A and B are shown apart, each in its own frame.
Chain A
Amino acid sequence: MRSNLFKVLAVAVVSASCFGTISTAALAEKSGGILKFYHRGTPPSGSIHEEATSSTVVPYMSIFNNLVMFDQAKPVNSLDTIVPDLAKSWAWGGDKTKLTFTLREGVKFHDGKPFTAKDVVCTWNLILGKSKAKLRKNPRKSWYKNLASVEANGDYEVSFNLKRRQPAFLMLLASGYSPVYPCHVPPKKMRTKPIGTGPFKFVSLKQNEHVKFTKNTNYWKTGRPLLDGHEWTIIKSRSTRVLGFIAGKFDMSFAGDISIPIYKDLIKQAPHAICEKHATNVSTNLIVNQFKAPFDNAKIRKAMVLTIDRASFNKILGHGEFIMSGAMLPPPHGVWGMPPEVLKNVAGYHPDVAANRAEARKIMKSLGYGPDNRLKVKVATRNIAIYRDPAVLLIDHLKEIFIDGELDTVETSNWHAKVARKDYQVGLNLTGIGVDDPDAMFYENYACGSQRNYTGYCKEEMMKLFEKQSMMDNGPERMKLVYEIDKKLQEDAARPIIANNVRYNCFQPYVKGFKTQTNSLYNGWRFEDIYLDK
């Protein structure tokens, strides 16, 4: 009797678990529905290659495919998480100076034209400035400094010829910033009515109103996308859009829009919401114009580095959740950043702020500054809270070393023009990086001649180190060299990092199949695996 009871129970448990599995499988991956987002402002254009802002790449990435991409289900981007996209496979040749891709056949652009190797050649020729058609803006030219040419070997094979070894080159191609454009569509049309091979098709953009995308029913990946489309309502007022999310008007927040204080408020009002904390790989940093006296003197820049109290920045602005780092984001959020035990030995990072500042004051006194001879500077920054607030704290920290800063708020649309003209003394800036790889970071922000090297930092010895690490395979040796470079960049005050920001990405509980990526804000928006479990 007793053993029979056990048998019945065992059968019941097994059946329940089987049914459970079946029902879970049946429930998984529902098709249909429109995913609704809010957007913080009208995207400047739909042409990803011409922009360096999440406003464009986040909604528009789903129109396109790359050759390769970062696995959308994995939070940390790295060489190990790169998966095929339009390329079925790839192989290195010529001691990692030639990267050859075998392409998928039968893929079509949204207008029905076939995708071939020519489109890949056209896209990178556009970036290299080799084609007749020109991009209006070309923000990632510096990524491809080492790319000599791209050549098609027939319709379905393409090779990237590099000037020298660059094993991490694939990382650049996997970014959301590296889509394949159609050869037959001119850049102007790509800005207004972009066409790609991706899971969603562009429908319309109305300034200050919406951006809409619909399912590409002829998508080459069977069974994808699961959604019928995704729509973005443009809402400039942050209070309104967050209230809209709380009220359930939207399924997801905009990438990186939810700050720590807003998250704390939001979760009280919408406890059902799922909010994933993530590092954005957007850092708050100090920029010092090295072309303007007295900041051409390395000593004064070092004193400025020493006075920064990163812990207080973190406590006040990050509620203790910001990440302390150099230029590169440390694990577990990123890959290449210095771990705490290495970081604490970098000038200015030692937790004994009083000792750091005593050293800084000594430097300032040696330069003739003191309580009776204070240096007056303007601290320029964009007139938006995320820039203004840290700038105010920075001014307070500079006071400790006889520097009296005056806040110079710049209308946001004039900011980059002012910085590019080197029309500032000291500034506070935010920098986001498309790919968590030293090649992208160093060449974009610290290399001689790069358009986005705002401080004008340029050292031949550092350029050699950039190249040396770039030629190395990933491994402990490259890691060690990257730490060394990062330490030097911080101590040289090339662009001292104050903190790496942390934000929240919130979505309603019925949004499934989405994973927030932690070491870049720009690569995880393909949306082909997302579904609504309503």
Chain B
Amino acid sequence: MLYSYLIQRFLLMFLTLLGMSIIIFVLLRLVPGNIVDIMFDSAGFVDPAEKATIEKELGLDLPIYEQYYHWIVGLVSFDLGFSYVSEMPAVDEIGPRIPITAKLAALSLFFSILFGLPLGVISAVKQNTALDYALRVVSLSGLSLPSFWLALLILMACVSYTGAIPIYTETPETLWDELLLYLLPSAAVGFRASALIMRLTRSSMLEVMRQDYIRTAMSKGASDNAINYKHALRNAVLPVTTIIGIEAAFLIGGLIITETVFNIPGVAHFLVEAILMRDYPIVQSLVMFIAIIVVVINFLTDLAYAALDPRIKYSD
């Protein structure tokens, strides 16, 4: 049963990625302006003859289906082509940036779960108390403060009060240095996600706390911790897991701004720059990479349901 489910999911994943590749490829070429125009921008003019020569050199004069074919063939053989901007292999440009963003995303997610989940439980258990109100204010602030603004405030506070600025100017020498460097940016991004997780955990917990089996556990004399964390949270965590999965996939959006403000050379900031420059090989490869991550995280989230809720069984 599980095998046929897995095969079905893998097929679906493949079709999703194929569809994504077409959408990415076509959309990118529908955006006005192309890389050659942008190249000429730094020269302050556009020469039609020189432009045509460069387009030919980059293969942009080929029909769109031919360009797509070349890209897909390259992608399958892990040849991502060359960056139009730096004229370096795209894999060399993208490769070193992935671990940076991955670490930042993981740390952000860690922060958001670390604070979001227990504070959501506390807020629900202490419903309508001063603590609950305080936590709700914090969570609302997290949802309403734009992360770029928060990031800038953090930087300004650091410069004003400590005279130092925690931005990335050179590769950190030790893991500890790296962790220190990522701490503030991941807190800025994680704050929003933790607020969302906190609110969802709270509402989910409140719903579960009204169930008969919780009342039964209480009447049996189970401890508060056992009721809250063993019985209630385990059942309340299912919708939260979905949100964590979605947040993990879409964390890249929050990271774009944070990487820009904290000057972290990750893929998120790099992707935006590549889009602005119409650096097709970079954008296509990176968006495909992100699409793969999203699809895989969705798949893992679905698998996690079964682990978290024994009532869920996978079948075709």
Task: Let me know if B276 and A205 touch, CB within 8 A.
Answer: no
Contacts of B38 in A (CB 8 A): 413-414, 417
- Chain B proximity of A455: nearest CB distance (Å): 13
Q: Is A369 an interface residue (CB 8 A)?
A: no
Task: Let me know if B86 and A205 touch, CB within 8 A.
Answer: yes
Task: Let me know if A136 and B155 touch, CB within 8 A.
Answer: no
Contacts of A240 in B (CB 8 A): 152, 155, 165, 167, 260-263
The residues in B between 47 and 64 inclusive whose CB is less than 8 angstroms from any CB of A are 47, 50, 53-54
Query: If the complex has contacts A237-B261, A239-B155, A413-B278, are A139 and B273 also in contact, measured as CB distance less than 8 A?
Result: no
- Chain A proximity of B19: nearest CB distance (Å): 27
Interface 1/0s, chain B 254-290, versus A by CB < 8 A?
A: 0000001111010001100100111000000000000
The residue that B42 contacts in the complex, of A53, A206, A207, A249, with Cβ under 8 A, is: A53
Contacts of A246 in B (CB 8 A): 159, 165
Q: Is B310 an interface residue (CB 8 A)?
A: no
The residue that A415 contacts in the complex, of B41, B54, B169, with Cβ under 8 A, is: B41
Contacts of B164 in A (CB 8 A): 247
* Stretch of A44-52, A154-162, A255-263 at the chain-chain interface: A44-52
- Chain B proximity of A509: nearest CB distance (Å): 16
Give the complex CA separation of A451 and B87 in angstroms: 26
Task: Let me know if A452 and B45 touch, CB within 8 A.
Answer: yes
The residue that A207 contacts in the complex, of B46, B54, B86, B160, with Cβ under 8 A, is: B86
Q: Is B132 an interface residue (CB 8 A)?
A: no
Chain B interface category by residue count = 35 or more
Chain A interface category by residue count = 35 or more
Task: Let me know if A416 and B47 touch, CB within 8 A.
Answer: no
Contacts of A131 in B (CB 8 A): none
Q: Is A517 an interface residue (CB 8 A)?
A: no
- Chain B proximity of A52: nearest CB distance (Å): 4
Task: Let me know if A420 and B46 touch, CB within 8 A.
Answer: yes
Task: Let me know if A137 and B165 touch, CB within 8 A.
Answer: no
Interface 1/0s, chain B 73-106, versus A by CB < 8 A?
A: 0000000000101111000010000000000000
Give the complex CA separation of A414 and B34 in angstroms: 8
**Cβ-closest chain A residue relative to B88:** A192
Give the complex CA separation of A182 and B223 in angstroms: 81
Q: Is B184 an interface residue (CB 8 A)?
A: no
Q: Is A42 an interface residue (CB 8 A)?
A: yes
Contacts of A72 in B (CB 8 A): none
The residue that A413 contacts in the complex, of B47, B54, B156, B277, with Cβ under 8 A, is: B277
Task: Let me know if A208 and B265 touch, CB within 8 A.
Answer: yes
Task: Let me know if A239 and B32 touch, CB within 8 A.
Answer: no
Q: Is B292 an interface residue (CB 8 A)?
A: no
The residue that B33 contacts in the complex, of A247, A413, A420, with Cβ under 8 A, is: A413
Interface 1/0s, chain B 10-47, versus A by CB < 8 A?
A: 00000000000000000000001100011111111111
Q: Is A138 an interface residue (CB 8 A)?
A: yes
Q: Is A100 an interface residue (CB 8 A)?
A: no
Task: Let me know if A249 and B169 touch, CB within 8 A.
Answer: yes
- Chain A proximity of B46: nearest CB distance (Å): 4
Contacts of B221 in A (CB 8 A): none
The residue that A137 contacts in the complex, of B47, B155, B163, B269, with Cβ under 8 A, is: B47
**Cβ-closest chain A residue relative to B31:** A411
Q: Is A191 an interface residue (CB 8 A)?
A: yes
Give the complex CA separation of A42 and B152 in angstroms: 22
- Chain A proximity of B259: nearest CB distance (Å): 9
- Chain A proximity of B40: nearest CB distance (Å): 6
Give the complex CA separation of A451 and B51 in angstroms: 13
Give the complex CA separation of A55 and B85 in angstroms: 14
Contacts of B163 in A (CB 8 A): 247-248
Q: Is A233 an interface residue (CB 8 A)?
A: yes
Nearest 9 CB-CB pairings of A with B? A417-B37, A451-B45, A44-B42, A247-B165, A420-B46, A139-B43, A414-B33, A137-B43, A52-B44
27 A-B pairs whose Cβ atoms sit less than 8 Å apart in the complex: A36-B169, A51-B42, A52-B43, A137-B42, A138-B47, A138-B50, A192-B87, A205-B86, A207-B85, A207-B270, A210-B170, A236-B260, A237-B260, A237-B261, A240-B155, A240-B165, A240-B260, A240-B263, A244-B165, A247-B164, A411-B32, A413-B37, A416-B37, A416-B44, A416-B46, A417-B41, A451-B45
